[in-house]
Every structure is written in C-alpha cells, then in structure tokens.
Structure 1
C-alpha cells in the first residue's frame, strides 16, 4: 500500500550517479580510501575474533576488492555486488544461501533501511552472519557547522541524516537478527582545506544524494564556508570526524 511506503529521503538517481563518479575517481592511484579500508580492517578483526570460517560470502560495496581477495585467500567462495553497477539493495537479492554477508558504506543512503536489512537476512543461510558498516550520526561535525555558517539565516539541507547506535539496535531487533551487536567508532582526519574534504567525500562516495539537496552554494556563501573551515583548524589543518556504525547479527 502507498501509505506504507518509506519516506523518500534520498534520490536513487543521485545516489547511483555519485557511486559511479566514485568508481571513476577511484581509478586514480592516489585516491583516498581510508574509510572503506577502516571498515575492511574491522571486518577482518571481527571474523578472526569470532573464528568465523564461512564457506560462501557476499561482499557489497567494496570497490577496492581487498576484502574479497582476503576472504578468497582463506578458501571462501566470494560473490561481489556493487550498487554503482546496478545492484539494488532495496529489492530481494537474486542469490542467497550465504554464510556471511558484508555491506560496506552503502546502507546509509537507502530509503528503506529496514527493508534492505530484511533482504540481507533472507539471503543468509541458516546460521549465517551479517556485518554492515556505514556512516553514522555524529559524522562531519565540522562540515555541518561550516555549512550553517555559510548558509547564514537560510540553512539548507546539505548533509545526510544518519542512524545512531540506539536506532541501529532497534533496526536489528525489528528485522529479527539474532545476537545483535551494535557499535560506533570515530575516524579522525585532518584536512588542509575545505576543498580537500569535499574532494575526499566525492572520491569515497559520500557526497550529497538527498532528494531535496537544497540550492547551490553561491560564491559569497562558499567564501564564508572556506573561512569558517580554516578558522576551525589549527596550524593550517582542520580536523574532521567520520563516525562509523557497524551492525552485526545472525540468521538463526
């Protein structure tokens, strides 16, 4: 029924375009990859701690290929899926029976997050595990403040709403994952300029994909943003924080 449809917060078309732009930008040898690399390291640590030895795994969103290669080296049969290549996380998966499904940096911009988690659960074999990591509430506090300064008395929607630890736990309970674990960790990065931060966001697929993206930032507003960003720093560098939320659970 139309009344049960999830709110349209994000634009699927803009999301796809941003993801494809990211894949193109990642062809550069010096492309920033620190967010997905942090997520991959965390996944491998969790699997080692749990002594999880999956036979079949699905990896969603790892454009580096590092996690699939690492799992394959352990004898895991790995399937890769990429939203930028048309994989739809908000529809039932065309494959299933996985012992492990890992989603990296994509679920924060789906309109139907509970539905996406249900599709993951349905694609797991009995006893299978999900690990999903994505940008969380509290991310980009410096940029949020800078944008408010730039927009002055007319603030516009420029950064995404995001899920926090409490909401993540509720989502796992709602979607019937067993033994849920929810945690959040910061990744702190120093930038020499606002332009570099924006460039890194685009190159890692975290630019604005809101359905209502707000007006373009004018020259005067952008100048205010640059000044505010520099003023928030010290010794020529401004610290920004990326909060990474990780949800994990099992299909029993």
Structure 2
C-alpha cells in the first residue's frame, strides 16, 4: 500500500501520538486489559488452531503474552506485514488512531492466508462523549469558539462497513461499553495522558487552554454526567470487529428463491393469507 501524498490532510498527528505513547504508564492501561480479556474470550470460541499469529499494537509489552510466539507489529501507516503470511491478525487498540482505517484493514486482509481470522478491538463513537460535550459547551461559553479536543471515533455501523470495504468475509461488529469514575475532570485528563489517549489531533490548539475553560467544563460535567457518589462517570466503548479472509470452504448464502422448506413448516405453525 502506498503512503498518502505528502500534502494529503491527516486527522491525527502521528509524531505527537508517538510522544504521548512514550510517556504511558503500564498501570493506567486498564482499557487494554479489558480488550485482552475480550480477545481471549472470542478466540476461545473459535474452533481452530492458529500457527502464525500477528498482533498490531503500539504496546508490545502488554500484548505479547496473549498468544505465544505471536509477531508484534507496530501500528504504522504501512504495516510490516507480508502477504499471505498469517492465519490470525489482531489489530489491538490502535485503529481509532489511524488516519486511514480502511487501509489498515486492507493490509491486514492481504497478510492473511485463506480462511484466516481478523480480530479488531478499538475505541468507538460513544467513548468520552461526556467529556466531549462538556468541553465543547464550556469553550463556547468562555471563548465563544470551539476547537478539536476529543478525537472523533467511528460508530459501530460504520466500522462494520469498513470490514466489508476491506474485503473480509463473514463480517461481525459488536460493542462492549465500559464506565469508569473519576474525582473530577482533571483526574480524567491525567488518566488519559497516562494511557496515551490524550489529544493528538492535527488541528488541536497549539497553545495552553485557559483554566477557566476547564473549570466551566467541570461544572457542566458535574451537572449533566454525575456518578452516584458525587464523582464523574466516563464512558469508554470497546468495539470488536471479526472478519475472515475469503475462502471456498466458508459458508455461502443461498440464492433467493432456492429454499426447500416453507417458513411455516420450520416454525411448526399454520400459514395463512394476509387480509386484502
């Protein structure tokens, strides 16, 4: 796959993202721990032994233990994957930072052997919706403007569509909502920095934000999204995508009109005509 043209607009500043990730604290990566548990559960349901797995992840230390002998690949714009070399590819907690998510999935599909499995887990559109709303309203009220602060993340339906666009068979998309509680908005933002999920948007403000914006955002957050004990609730939505590299052995949908049994027979009921 070719790199984007030098003048092509990029949503994310990959250099800043790398700097953020370099300061990550392992004890703050609870989202990755939840993602690992989810991936393990899904793999346990697959009746297949994988002998050539690869994991695309910015945090090799966290993900290297999930599958013995898995090859860990950095989530660069061009992935270090060879065509047809793997029977399992896991794209782990990085797709929501990709400037070209479809391109990432296409590269993973090309790296799979026939009937190879692709598993993606990433953050979805409901993630930090409380923080996004509170900061947006606060900035409008305090500065009469609005700047990009929380990365826009794809919705479940959109991500499912990406699997089809990337050429995967038997695509499935579902989600796992998680809720965390924080003392205040500053506690939440410190935690985001500690897990490397803070603002890396190309269009972000390049100068410090006035404290009045955050103070107002704290007030709005407390008013609209309080937790029962007076803390703040923050939503993190994990989306899991599953797809298979096409192969002739996979089940195919029947042609319309080729059914050999009426629906009423399958349900054990009588068939009646609809009234005119």
C-alpha separation between the residues in 2 aligned to 1:207 and 1:52?
37
Which 4+ residue blocks in structure 1 deviate beyond 6 angstroms?
Answer: none
Would you say 1:80 and 2:72 are equivalent positions?
yes
SS at match of 1:54: coil
Equivalent in the alignment of 2:53: 57
Equivalent in the alignment of 1:197: 188
Task: Report how far residue 94 of structure 1 moved.
Answer: 4.4
- Do the aligned partners of 1:108 and 1:135 also contact (CA within 8 Å) in 2? yes
C-alpha separation between the residues in 1 aligned to 2:208 and 2:138?
12
C-alpha separation between the residues in 2 aligned to 1:20 and 1:52?
36
Would you say 1:246 and 2:240 are equivalent positions?
yes
What is the TM-score with the length of structure 2 in the denominator? 0.78
Which of 100, 124, 132 in structure 2 is aligned with 1:112?
Answer: 100
- Do the aligned partners of 1:36 and 1:62 also contact (CA within 8 Å) in 2? no
Would you say 1:228 and 2:208 are equivalent positions?
no
Would you say 1:149 and 2:137 are equivalent positions?
yes
What is the TM-score with the length of structure 1 in the denominator? 0.85
Task: Report how far residue 235 of structure 1 moved.
Answer: 2.5
Q: If each structure's helix is expressed as a fraction of its own residues, which one has the higher value? A: 1
Equivalent in the alignment of 2:80: 93
Would you say 1:173 and 2:161 are equivalent positions?
no
Equivalent in the alignment of 2:257: none
Bigger relative contact order, structure 1 or 2, given CA contacts below 8 A and separation 6+? 1
Q: Which runs of 5+ in 1 are unaligned?
A: none
C-alpha separation between the residues in 2 aligned to 1:121 and 1:248?
12
C-alpha separation between the residues in 1 aligned to 2:60 and 2:105?
23
Deviates more, 1:12-21 or 1:56-65: 56-65
Task: Report how far residue 92 of structure 1 moved.
Answer: 4.6
C-alpha separation between the residues in 2 aligned to 1:188 and 1:95?
38
| 1:64-119 Cα distance to aligned partner (Å, 9 max, x none) | 745432421xxxx3111234xxxx2x215244511111111111111111111111
Task: Report matched runs for 1:158-169 at 5 Å.
Answer: 158-169=149-160
Task: Report how far residue 130 of structure 1 moved.
Answer: 0.9
Equivalent in the alignment of 1:44: 40
Task: Report how far residue 47 of structure 1 moved.
Answer: 0.7
- Do the aligned partners of 2:74 and 2:80 also contact (CA within 8 Å) in 1? no
Q: Which runs of 5+ in 2 are unaligned?
A: 247-276
Task: Report how far residue 6 of structure 1 moved.
Answer: 6.2
- Is the radius of gyration larger for structure 1 or structure 2? 2
CA RMSD of aligned residues (A): 2.3
